[in-house]
Structure 1
């Protein structure tokens, strides 16, 4: 398990840690795929479930997309739909996405993180 030690988040919810099949966000453990924003966590059906990601339009500018243990790219149609909704997707591994989310969140930016489990 990896534990992350974020600095200051001005009331937003940081990703505290992750491990095989789970993420810890704001001190609570969540199993499976999740979407994290400054407001909290919602379960996510994964890449085949684009609607919760598209629902972030207007509330996030950047969406870190954690594709699991390794770097992978989401399907082009998902990337295109997000971009058309005004969301810039940034695909990477889930550990990298979690760290990038925390750093960007601490800067006060409008950011979200969609994470597939390791």
Structure 2
């Protein structure tokens, strides 16, 4: 069975970001990503304003279980809508929102610690 297009199974550090994309798993991807314990998935979300319940539900259903979900909102820190935060809280998942650069660094640190962390990272 092959992986769906835009999906790489496994846990990967984000090696670099910028120029509209990310480097991980010895490859690069242009656009935003959803990095979960089960794999890294391309997502069409281009702005923090586009983060919706379907995106959060995908993260929750595809993650294999999370303790913390980090949202990288792009160049600047922007708020995640209260209903989306509530959706994560109701699932027992903590949520931290920050600019994408800080989100990448935090995600990598928690991944290195073996934590069950996921991240939605908006490309910058």
Relative to the length of structure 1, the TM-score reads 0.82
Task: Please list every run of 5 or more consecutive structure 2 residues that lacks an aligned counterpart in the other structure.
Answer: 1-9, 46-50
Contact 1:57 1:85 survives alignment (8 Å): no
SS at the partner of 1:96?
A: helix
Query: 2: distance between equivalents of 1:104 and 1:93?
Result: 16
Deviations 1:38-75 (A, max 9, x none): 33211224303332123256511101100001111111
- Alignment: residue pair count: 108
Higher helix share: 2
Query: What's the counterpart of residue 51 of structure 1?
Result: 57
Runs of 4+ deviating beyond 6 Å:
none
Task: Please list every run of 5 or more consecutive structure 1 residues that lacks an aligned counterpart in the other structure.
Answer: 1-10
- For 1:79-118, list aligned pairs within 5 A: 79-118=85-124
Contact 1:64 1:112 survives alignment (8 Å): yes
- For 1:17-32, list aligned pairs within 5 A: 17-32=16-31
Distance 1:57 1:79, change over 3 A: farther
Q: Which moved more, 1:14-23 or 1:28-37?
A: 28-37
Query: 2: distance between equivalents of 1:81 and 1:38?
Result: 19
Residue 20 of structure 1: CA displacement? 2.4
Contact 1:57 1:87 survives alignment (8 Å): no
Aligned-residue CA RMSD in angstroms? Answer: 1.7
